[in-house]
Amino acid sequence: MNLILLGAPGSGKGTQAKFLAEHYKIKKIVVGDILREEVKNNTPLGKVVSEYMNKGVLVPDNIIIKVIQEKLNSSGFILDGFPRNLVQAKMLEEILKEKALSLDRVIYLKVNEEKAVERLSGRRVCKNCGAIYHIVNMPPQKEGICDKCGEKLMIRDDDREETVKKRWQVFRRETSSLIDHYLKDSKLLEVDANKSKEEVFSEIKKALNSYGKDKDSSGN
C-alpha cells in the first residue's frame, strides 16, 4: 500500500503516520522529521532549510525533491508532509513513474484551525527518537521525559504562535489545492481529524479496508 497523508499543521499527520506504519508494516517517510534531523546535525542541508522552517514557509521544491528521490525506493510507503503544492505533486508523479511505483490513496486529515492550534501549543517532541506527545491529550508518563528513550521533551521551534499562524496561511495558499487535485484522481479519502487519535485511526482503517475490497472485486 502506497499512501500520502495530507493535512494542515496539527491535523495529526505524524501521529497517524506512526499508527499506519506499525499496523500495516509499511515505511513512513516524514519529510519534516528528515529536515529536522539535518538541522539538528548542523549539516549543509540543515543550515539551508532551517531558515525556511523557522519562518514557517515551505523549503524550495528542488531541495525537497532530492530528499524524496533518495528515500522513495520501494512499494509500501506513507508520505507525511509531501507533496505540499501542485509542483511537488507533479514531480512525485514523475518519480513514481521512473521507479515503476504507483500511488494508492491520499488520506486527507480535515481539522478545524482552532483545534489544531490548541494541539500544537501543547505538543512536546523527543529530539532524540521523534516521539510525539501532547501535555493534555497524550502526556508522557513522567512530565517532560520521553517514555521510549528517557530523553528530555522539547517544544518545536516552529510551534510558536506566530509561526503556527504562518504555517496555516501557507497550507491554505499552497497545499489545500491538492485536495481538489487528488479528488479528481478519485484517490482522496477524507477523514474527520477533529476526533480522538484512536477514532481517527479507526476511520482511516475503515476507509482503507473498503478500498481494499473494491480493489479485489475489480480485479486490480
Active site residues: 13, 84, 123, 156, 167
CA distance 186 to 147: 40
Rounded to a whole number of angstroms, the minimum distance from the CB of residue 95 to ligand AP5 is 13
Q: Pick between residue 54 and residue 212 the one whose CB is nearest to ligand AP5.
A: 54
CA 177/CA 16 separation, integer angstroms: 22
3-class DSSP state of 144: coil
Task: State the minimum distance, in angstroms, from the CB of residue 196 to ligand AP5.
Answer: 5
- Pick from 3, 167, 178, 182: which binds ligand AP5 (CB under 6 A)? 167
- Report CA 189 to chain centroid distance, whole Å: 15
Of 137 and 209, nearer to ligand AP5 (C-beta) is 137
Secondary element (H or E) of residue 106: strand 105-110
Cβ proximity to ligand AP5: between 110 and 134 the closer is 134
Per CB under 6 A, does 200 bind ligand AP5? yes
Residues 118, 122: Cα–Cα separation, whole Å: 7
Question: Whose CB is nearest to ligand AP5?
Answer: 32
- Which of these, 111, 154, 119, lies nearest to 136 by C-alpha position? 119
Residues contacting ligand AP5: total by CB under 6 A: 36
* Residue 64-83 contact track with ligand AP5, rule CB under 6 A, x = bound: x----------------xx-
- Residue 31 makes CB contacts below 8 A (sequence gap 6+) with 64, 67, 68, 79, 80, 81, 82
Beta strands in 135-218 (DSSP E): 153-154, 188-192
Determine which helix (DSSP H) or strand (DSSP E) holds 119, and give its type and residue range. helix 113-121
Nearer to ligand AP5, 169 or 215 (CB): 169
Q: Is 110 in the site for ligand AP5 (CB under 6 A)?
A: no
The CA R_g of the chain, rounded to the nearest whole Å, is 17
At closest approach, how far in Å is the CB of 185 from ligand AP5? 19
Q: Are 190 and 110 in contact (CB under 8 A)?
A: yes
What nine digits make up the cell of 139? Answer: 502526556
Q: Out of 3, 59, 131, 204, which residue is the one contacting ligand AP5 (CB under 6 A)?
A: 59
C-alpha cell recorded at residue 144: 517532560
Kindly write out the interface string for residues 119-158 of this chain, putting x where it contacts ligand AP5 by CB under 6 A and - elsewhere: xx-xx--------xxx--xx-------------------x
Applying CB under 6 A, the residues found at the interface with ligand AP5 are 7, 9-15, 31-32, 35, 52-53, 56-59, 64, 81-82, 84, 88, 119-120, 122-123, 132-134, 137-138, 158, 167, 196-197, 200
